[in-house]
Amino acid sequence: MLSCSSKHNSFIIKGEFDGIADNTKIELIPGATMKEEKPAAFSEIKNGFFTFRDTVPEPRFYYIKIADGSGYLPVMVENSKIFIKGAPVATGSGDQRNYDFSSVIIRGSASHDLYLKKMNFHQELDSLYKANAKNSEEISQKVLQARKDKDNAVLVSLSKTDEYKAMVDREKIFFEKVKNESTNAVLSNKDSWWGPFMMLNTMSYFTEEQRGWYNQFPKEVQESYYGKIVKENLPRESWEGKTAADFTATREDGSKVAFKDLLAGHKYILLDFWASWCAPCKKEIPNLKELYNEYGSKGFTIVSISIDKDANAWKNAVKENKLVWENFRDTDGTIADAYKVKLIPTMFLIDNTGKIVLDNKIGEELASHLKALMK
């Protein structure tokens, strides 16, 4: 049927990866969802070939991944016969193996061809970025060294040079171009599912500006597969005054504790979502310590929820930063999902009735509000 019909009701992906050993597992992973997805299907290399068969209700974006390494091959899948051929280039070994798919060719999906055309502006931006980096290499190294040496005098001196000003101008022009090109990529496709897809495929998070983009989509586009994903990831409205989501967290020793038990005996609890690798989160730690030291004996406490994937990185960060309050790792993302956490740090100040009194106030703003509440 696949070879005789001009309109397929299922897809078959036939791939040929030169240089990849037989029995190597190949994964087909949903993409453009703004979350870490598990493979939707698996295949294995047999005599250099692998195959996926399934059906999609409309074109859907996937990544093909060689399971024993990192690196992804994007492919827009539609119900057709799709052929993939090439030699992925591996660098590193063991857990550090990474595959480069730049020489791999995809044929048979008109939607994939269109995807490449629509994403061509990314290549242009990448070329401009590399050119800027080359032109700014010398002054960038000087600035980097001065920051490493914590030499503010040198930094001030460098900031007054023509080379530094030229670098700043190039960066300003570049980021303005990124903004304009991204906006055009979305809004020029606003009358089809490509619009929300372009939002998901070109941005790592959304702001209120992207809500404006979403509002320009027709109702049928908003209700499309990718339109619904965009809606889920738009900035949520403030949760102040709402009841905090319930959850059960697991301590490092394996014991479990319910949210209501964490609240017990406290006037206010600050729920802090963070990660060991998050620089803005680390910047907030001194502020949190000050609040804890000042109000910890007066009914205030902090509960930090890490979204770290690496348990050791989380444990080390807790130890190094001397976080003496309750700390948990959200191993499967269920707690962060319950609170619609898309960016970190995200913080919720919750009273002893379970009501959220402050939504994502940090730094001085959090301190001033808490001071008023704790009087």
pLDDT value, residue 353: 94
| Residue 172: C-alpha distances to residues 128, 144, 178, 317 (Å) | 12, 19, 10, 35
Domain boundaries, the chain: 11-108, 120-233, 248-373
**Tokens at 246, concatenated:** 């319930």
**pLDDT score recorded for residue 4:** 36
User: What's the mean pLDDT when you consider all of the chain?
Assistant: 92
**What average pLDDT does the segment 54-77 reach?**
96
User: Partners of 272 in the beta sheet?
Assistant: 304, 347
pLDDT at 7: 55
121 burial class (0-12, 13-18, 19+ CB within 10 angstroms)?
middle
Residue whose C-alpha is closest to residue 323's, from 347, 306, 342, 344: 306
Enumerate the H helices of the chain as residue ranges. 110-118, 120-135, 137-148, 152-159, 162-187, 194-202, 208-215, 219-222, 225-233, 259-263, 279-295, 311-320, 334-338, 363-373
Pairing of strands 60-66, 25-30: antiparallel
- Examine the pLDDT at 2 and tell me if it is beyond 80: no
Residue 5: is its pLDDT beyond 60? no
Q: Check if the beta carbon of residue 289 is closer than 8 Å to that of residue 360.
A: no
What was the pLDDT predicted at 182? 93
Q: From 35, 339, 355, select the one nearest 347 (Cα to Cα).
A: 339
CATH architecture of 248-373: 3-Layer(aba) Sandwich (3.40)
The rounded percent of the chain whose pLDDT value lies above 70 is 98
Q: Give the per-residue pLDDT at 95.
A: 78
If phi over 0 gives left and psi between -120 and 50 gives alpha, with beta otherwise, what is residue 356?
beta
User: What pLDDT digit, counting tens, does each position of 215-256 carry?
Assistant: 999 999 999 999 999 999 998 888 999 999 999 998 888 888
Q: Is the previous residue joined to 345 through a cis bond, with omega within 30 degrees of 0?
A: yes
pLDDT in tens, 277-319: 999 999 999 999 999 999 999 999 999 999 999 999 999 999 9
* Fold (topology level) of 11-108: Immunoglobulin-like (2.60.40)
Residue 17: exposure state from Cβ atoms within 10 A (0-12, 13-18, ≥19): buried
Residue 124 pLDDT greater than 80, yes or no: yes
Q: Work out the average pLDDT over 179-200.
A: 96
Collect all residues with Cβ–Cβ distance below 8 Å to 179 and sequence separation of at least 6.
none
Residue 130 has pLDDT above 90, yes or no: yes
Same-fold call for 11-108 versus 248-373: no
Phi and psi at residue 255, to the nearest 5°: -75, 150
CB 294 within 8 A of CB 320: no
Mean pLDDT over residues 329-358, rounded? Answer: 92
pLDDT at 252: 80
Specify which residues 13 forms β-bridges with: 52, 82
**145 pLDDT band (50/70/90 cuts)?**
very high
